[in-house]
Chain A
Amino acid sequence: QSALTQPASVSGSPGQSITISCTGTSSDVGGYDYVSWYQQYPGKAPKLLIYDVTNRPSGVSSRFSGSKSGNTASLTISGLQAEDEADYYCSSYASSSALYVFGTGTRVTVL
């Protein structure tokens, strides 16, 4: 099971919106509405941002939103802030021997 494909880096200025893509196949992203997104600061554990494509856990800022079209899921960060500078990973349930697959990760830089 190959990792889901994400851009290595995305950048934006404070206040802007950015979108991170996560491309898989019909056996993972495209086949299930079970895509989640995680934020990770260096040396820290990942934090859940989005689950089941569009849902935000309690306490996560509404500036983070998720969507999906076909085999590609997306995470949008609106009103970009300095504290959003981190690594972001998508994940999906998969109909393969690897039940769960993560994305390659995206480094977000706030200019």
Chain B
Amino acid sequence: EVQLVETGGGLIQPGGSLRLSCAASGLTVSSNFMTWVRQAPGKGLEWVSVLYNTGSTYYADSVKGRFTISRDNSKNTLFLQMSSLRDEDSAVYYCARALGVGGNYFDYWGQGSLVTVSS
């Protein structure tokens, strides 16, 4: 059974940094396309970033230059390092496995980790 468990969320002041973790079981992070998707309170889903099995990374324009996606193969864990956080980054952050051509659909999702950016 595949499980993705996000941790690391919390309350952070604007301009601060936070690192989210997504511990995987039942799948190998390094062999898959892994992605982060976020959802602001009461809003829709927004794609944030993807890490391909090759190591290539891509980001939404809204987080480019501020967020970094990475993985620790020994821990089978995906990360999202977030810096220069803004109010509009407040959201539930989900990690998910991306499948298909270019990783265009997301089949396994974590339960989400809430990030609140507020002074």
Contact = CB atoms under 8 A, between A and B. Distances in A.
Interface stretch (B8-16, B41-49, B70-78): B41-49
A104 B106 contact: no
Which 10 residue pairs of A and B lie closest in terms of their CB atoms, listed nearest first? A36-B105, A34-B104, A93-B104, A45-B109, A51-B105, A105-B44, A100-B47, A102-B45, A48-B107, A98-B60
Interface in A1-23: 1, 3
Interface of B: 35, 37, 44-47, 50, 58, 60-61, 64, 94, 99-102, 104-107, 109-112
Contacts of B104: 32, 34, 36, 51-52, 91-93, 100
Nearest to A46: B109
Contacts of A89: 44-45
A48 to B, nearest CB: 5
B107 A98 contact: no
Nearest to A103: B44
Given A48-B107, A57-B107, 14 more contacts: A1-B61, A32-B104, A34-B100, A36-B105, A45-B112, A47-B109, A51-B99, A89-B45, A91-B104, A97-B60, A99-B47, A99-B50, A101-B47, A103-B44
Interface of A: 1, 3, 32, 34, 36, 38, 40, 45-48, 51-52, 57, 89, 91-93, 97-105
B44 A48 contact: no
A45 to B, nearest CB: 4
B94 A48 contact: no
A93 B102 contact: yes
B44 A99 contact: no
Interface centre among B64, B100, B111 (most CB of A within 10 A): B100
A60 B101 CA distance: 21
